[in-house]
């Protein structure tokens, strides 16, 4: 039965800048949900934001319904650590599902003399816009990787839309992004100048992984962007989150739409193409699953009644 006008429910998904993966991936969710809105009455729209940190704060204040969030910042928000220490634990934060891996990615010009990550000490590095997950992750990671304050004299916070021109013109020496691949940002930069990707593979990485379990070893596969070999790094998982205030039936509707049209959903962006249903549900997420999502997963046999 078609949804009546009085039954319409509007939801917003917070993403990030349009050149990253969150924006098109959020668009993929909204497109799938809106395909069947006459049936369930849920209309989905996107909102561009500064990224993970901003999305969490906007969900907490009630200004957003859903948001894309890196798994490390989901952890910190739920437990009230790191940049969320002042605001305290966000115990009403709820997970919906996990998505693609996001890899700590460092881009330099082809002719630059930097050959490994530690060569960038004192270089002009853009670490992500203020409020973004990338910038916050840089600040959380870098001490564990052995860098000092003196090694970071030339950091900047340009937005993603400014990065290609800034790198290729020499305004910056490198940019750092936690991002899913393939990413249009990297492709846009390649259109303006020749580039290389630096891996983050030193002894300190193992310490990071042991101390911060929300990070994992990650790889940018060979063949992406025309590069012949893989690039090793570390990364997190992109997650979709909401709050406990969101009605169960709305979350259930969003999850059901994505999973019922799963093959179509994966085709809507290359970064989604390698998703597996079981991994989206089974990835360990710090915040509890929202009851609406949990209901769907149990009905589909993806989780047991005891989970």
275 belongs to a structural domain: yes
Share of residues in the chain with pLDDT > 90 (%)? 56
Q: What is the pLDDT of residue 1?
A: 46
Q: What is the pTM of this model?
A: 0.81
**Residue 24 falls inside a structural domain:** yes
Within-domain flag for 188: yes
Task: Output the pLDDT for position 124.
Answer: 97
Q: Which of 2-11, 151-160, 205-214, 233-242 has the lowest mean pLDDT?
A: 2-11
What does the pLDDT look like over 64-116, one tens digit per residue? 999 999 898 999 999 999 889 999 999 999 999 999 888 999 999 999 999 99
Cα angle: 195, vertex 197, 203; to 5 degrees: 155
Query: Do 242 and 173 fall within a single domain?
Result: no
Q: How confident is the model at residue 164 (pLDDT cuts 50, 70, 90)?
A: very high
Helix (H, G, I), strand (E, B), or coil: what is residue 167? helix
Query: What are the pLDDT digits (tens) for 3-32?
Result: 544 578 999 999 988 877 888 889 999 999
Domain total of the chain: 2
Predicted pLDDT at 130: 80
Evaluate whether residue 307 is within a structural domain: no
Range(s) of the domain holding residue 166: 102-236
* Chain centre to alpha carbon of residue 191: 24
Average the pLDDT over each of 170-179, 217-226, 287-296 and give the range with the smallest value: 217-226
């Amino acid at each position: 039965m078609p949804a009546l006008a009085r039954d319409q429910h509007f939801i917003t998904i917070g993403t990030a800048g349009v050149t990253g993966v969150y924006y098109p991936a959020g668009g993929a969710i909204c497109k799938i949900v809106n395909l069947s809105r006459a049936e369930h009455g849920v209309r989905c729209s996107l909102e561009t934001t500064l990224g993970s940190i901003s999305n969490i704060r906007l969900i907490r204040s009630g200004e957003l319904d859903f948001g894309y969030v890196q798994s490390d910042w989901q952890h910190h928000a739920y437990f009230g650590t790191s940049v969320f220490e002042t605001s305290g634990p966000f115990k009403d934060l709820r997970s919906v599902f996990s998505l693609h891996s996001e890899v700590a990615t460092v881009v330099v010009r082809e002719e630059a003399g930097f050959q490994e990550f530690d060569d960038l000490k004192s270089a002009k590095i853009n670490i992500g816009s203020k409020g973004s997950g990338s910038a916050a992750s840089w600040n959380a990671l870098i001490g564990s990787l052995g860098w000092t304050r003196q090694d970071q004299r030339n950091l900047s916070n340009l937005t993603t839309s400014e990065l290609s021109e800034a790198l290729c013109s020499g305004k910056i020496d490198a940019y750092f992004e936690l991002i899913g691949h393939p990413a249009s940002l990297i492709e846009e930069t390649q259109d303006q100048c020749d580039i290389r990707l630096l891996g983050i593979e030193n002894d300190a990485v193992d310490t990071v992984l042991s101390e911060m379990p929300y990070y994992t070893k990650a790889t940018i596969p060979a063949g992406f962007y025309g590069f012949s070999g893989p690039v090793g790094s570390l990364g997190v998982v992109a997650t979709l989150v909401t709050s406990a205030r969101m009605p169960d039936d709305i979350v259930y509707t969003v999850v059901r739409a994505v999973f019922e049209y799963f093959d179509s959903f994966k085709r809507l962006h290359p970064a989604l193409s390698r998703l597996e249903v079981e991994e989206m549900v089974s990835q360990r997420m710090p915040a509890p699953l929202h009851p609406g999502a949990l209901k769907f997963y149990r009905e589909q046999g993806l989780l047991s009644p005891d989970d």
